[in-house]
Amino acid sequence: MSRIGKNPVAIPAGVTVEIKDNVITVKGKLGELTQEFSDVTVKVEEDNVIVERSSDFKDHRAKHGLYRSLVNNMIEGVSNGWSKELELVGVGYRASNQGQKLDLALGFSHNIVLNIAPEVKVETISEKGKNPIVKLSSFDKQLVGQVAAKIRGFRKPEPYKGKGVKFVGEQIRRKAGKSA
């Protein structure tokens, strides 16, 4: 039995869950999310969502925990929201935003201008003497993670000096340089 899949997902106040034709729809104060599912059955009982699988095939066992986690992330997102923070480490690395346009100066010959999806709120924090921080927040966990990974992919942290775009709190595995 899947340890994650067998746990019911609690539905907080102010969140509605509807299931119709293998599509689950979750509505809350921050937004609305939908997810298709297959090989499992999803039921709403009282204030809980229960995910059950039909058989013990390997594929069904894998999807059991997956869909339970996806439903949990959807319910958490529409009630509380998700956020990720990225830190720009390096001399001259800057970030600014005008609405949904994020302008990054990452040491290339030109600035990178990225249009962020309207569902994601972007905020840049620049304090003197500290590294610039880009804060992304939304009700969709997958979208926040995808946008954060795209921004990090422009200049990944390198192992010698640690320069690049990293998540706040991320530990960079450092290497020793050339020894004289």
113-124: per-residue pLDDT in tens? 999 999 999 999
66-84: per-residue pLDDT in tens? 999 999 999 999 999 999 9
Residue 132 burial (C-beta neighbours within 10 Å; 0-12, 13-18, 19+): buried
164-174: per-residue pLDDT in tens? 999 999 999 99
* Measured distance CA(33)–CA(160) in Å, rounded: 41
The domain defined by 9-79 carries CATH number 3.90.930.12: yes
pLDDT confidence of residue 168:
95
Give the DSSP letter of residue 146: H
pLDDT confidence of residue 179:
80
Domains 9-79 and 82-167 share a fold: yes
Domain ranges across the chain:
9-79, 82-167
pLDDT confidence of residue 1:
53
Contact 42, 49 (CB under 8 A): yes
Q: Which CATH architecture has domain 82-167?
A: Alpha-Beta Complex (3.90)
Element (H, E) at 89: strand 82-89
State how far the alpha carbon of 94 is from the alpha carbons of 4, 11, 101, 106, in Å: 41, 41, 14, 7
pLDDT confidence of residue 177:
87
28-40: per-residue pLDDT in tens? 999 999 999 988 9
| Mean pLDDT within 45-72 | 91
Please name the residue that has the structure tokens 């990720």.
84
